């Protein structure tokens, strides 16, 4: 009876995951979808704790340890999540994703120790060993890679390109596969050195795999590592014959993979090119694109900017990481409302890889209650750019760089961009003329239609609101 109830709970949990993922596709339902999936997970956890029975009819033990861990994890996770700023959300996602990989890694280690303790009386099946070793391999790569991504995003770890790095990674990968085959075959299962060799090689591979990848490619890497964690969790579901764990892992793995492919498509690059080419690691001044003479840029005053926007019919705002750094999303929404009162239509052009993680700008603006219908995807924004009077770029850089379309020598050549030059006026808000996260000069700043409005995004927007209200 208890087993039937538990299976029903797992079914309910699996359904909530699927429904929650569907609801996450739209900001109006995303919060409810997240809560629904979290409720299903909570139900599955409690059902497992109180209703699970093994083949001998015994349930779980050590309730004190289990609930102590649950309470500590809940308190710490809640406190950290409430405290984190939107600018730090990408590294938070990387850190949480890394913890998921670490869990998969620890599950495999524990199960291997259990197998070794009983190997004299019970020989594990090949399928079981494949799940154990692959779960550890993928979980360890995800954990190590996510921690490096977390460090790179918060600035504590710099890009590092190791001489012969691709060859080293290939050797490590080949070594991991060889050890996986040896351990999973059953002939070398009782040799812990080989098993833990997979752990060491996987950790090294995860570190070296992410280390040289630059900032402009980090959204893709985060998405890819997220899919790795999902696959590792699915292996755990296979191992424990747990349908809700399997369903969750498959959903995360497949969603992360699809998102990775879509983001690569948005950058007009293959996943292989992202992982090997890593244009995000390019430095300004390197190569023909970086050394080209750009000419002079022109500045625009706050008053002139306010006049242009007040008498425009349509204004399009292009948000970027600079907006997130300044925490200016609420002020940006206030500017939108002031312009709307003056009869100006305001829209937002969103590039798929703007910011530091997938959907970063969407989440940022949703937090400020910007209506979702005003957020235009890149293709739709480009279609409307020709009828736009003023484009205001807030901290975006690489996603509006015309070199992506015009300069074959540029590291970002071929990446689809927001074609802001189709508008009548282009105003670029930046704190300085420093290159963007891809480390390359932006030719847009020196074009005839472009004007630079220097300053912190939040302060500039506050001043613009004040100017507009006085008109």
Q: Which are the catalytic amino acids?
A: 398
* Lookup result for tokens 């579901």: 237
Pick from 380, 249, 392: nearest CA to 320: 392
Q: How many of the other CB atoms lie within 10 Å of CB of 181?
A: 13
- CA-CA distance, 189 to 116, in Å (whole number)? 8
Strand 375-377 relative to strand 345-350, pairing: parallel
Non-local (6+) Cβ contacts of 230 within 8 A are 248, 249, 250, 251, 252, 253, 254, 255, 256
The DSSP result for 427-444, as a single string, is EEEESSS---TT----GG
DSSP-assigned beta bridge partners for residue 374: none
* Lookup result for tokens 């704190």: 431
HEC assignment per residue over 51-79 = HCCCCCCCCCCCHHHHHHHHHHHHHHHHH
Asked if 359 and 367 count as a contact pair (C-beta separation under 8 A), the reply is no
- CA-CA distance, 199 to 106, in Å (whole number)? 10
In the 8-state DSSP scheme, what is residue 410? Answer: S
Strand 345-350 relative to strand 314-319, pairing: parallel
CA-to-CA dists, residue 87 to 170, 349, 437, angstroms: 35, 19, 14
* Lookup result for tokens 């074609």: 419
Assign residue 16 a region (left: φ > 0; alpha: ψ between -120 and 50; beta: otherwise): alpha
């Amino acid at each position: 009876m208890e087993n039937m109830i538990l299976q029903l709970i797992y079914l309910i949990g699996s359904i909530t995951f699927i429904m929650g993922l569907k609801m996450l596709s739209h900001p109006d339902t995303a919060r409810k979808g997240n809560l629904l999936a979290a409720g299903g997970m909570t139900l599955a956890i409690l059902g497992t704790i109180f209703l699970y029975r093994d083949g001998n009819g015994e349930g779980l033990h050590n309730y004190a340890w289990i609930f102590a861990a649950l309470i500590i994890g809940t308190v710490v996770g809640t406190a950290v999540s409430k405290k984190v700023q939107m600018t730090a959300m990408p590294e938070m996602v990387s850190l949480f994703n890394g913890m998921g990989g670490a869990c998969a890694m620890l599950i495999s280690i524990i199960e291997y120790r259990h197998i070794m303790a009983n190997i004299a009386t019970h020989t594990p099946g090949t399928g079981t060993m494949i799940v154990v070793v692959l779960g550890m391999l993928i979980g360890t790569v995800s954990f190590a890679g996510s921690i490096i991504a977390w460090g790179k995003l918060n600035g504590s770890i710099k890009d590092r390109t190791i001489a012969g790095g691709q060859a080293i990674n290939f050797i490590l990968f080949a070594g991991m596969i060889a050890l996986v085959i040896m351990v999973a075959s059953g002939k070398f299962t009782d040799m812990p050195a080989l098993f833990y060799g997979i752990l060491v090689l996987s950790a090294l591979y995860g570190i070296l795999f992410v280390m040289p990848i630059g900032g402009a490619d980090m959204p893709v890497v985060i998405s890819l590592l997220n899919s790795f964690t999902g696959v590792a969790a699915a292996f755990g579901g296979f191992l424990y014959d747990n349908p809700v764990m399997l369903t969750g892992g498959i959903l995360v793995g497949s969603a992360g993979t699809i998102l990775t492919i879509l983001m690569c498509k948005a950058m007009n690059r293959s996943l292989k090119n992202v992982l090997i080419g890593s244009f995000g690691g390019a430095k300004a001044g390197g190569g023909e694109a970086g050394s080209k003479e750009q000419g002079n840029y022109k500045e625009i005053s706050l008053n002139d900017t306010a006049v242009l926007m007040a008498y425009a019919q349509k204004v399009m705002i292009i948000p970027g990481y600079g907006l997130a750094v300044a925490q200016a999303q609420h002020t940006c929404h206030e500017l939108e409302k002031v312009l709307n009162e003056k009869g100006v239509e305001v829209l937002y052009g969103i590039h798929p890889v703007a910011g530091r993680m997938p959907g970063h700008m969407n989440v940022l603006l949703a937090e400020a209650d910007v209506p979702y219908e005003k957020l235009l995807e890149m293709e739709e924004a480009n279609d409307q750019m020709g009828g736009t009077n003023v484009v205001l770029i807030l901290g975006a850089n690489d996603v509006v760089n015309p070199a992506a379309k015009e300069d074959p020598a540029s590291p970002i050549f071929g990446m689809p961009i927001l074609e802001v030059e189709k508008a009548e006026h282009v105003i670029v808000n930046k704190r300085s003329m420093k290159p963007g996260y891809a480390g390359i000069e932006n030719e847009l700043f020196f074009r005839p239609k472009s004007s630079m409005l220097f300053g912190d995004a939040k302060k500039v927007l506050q001043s613009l609101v004040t100017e507009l209200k006085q008109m």
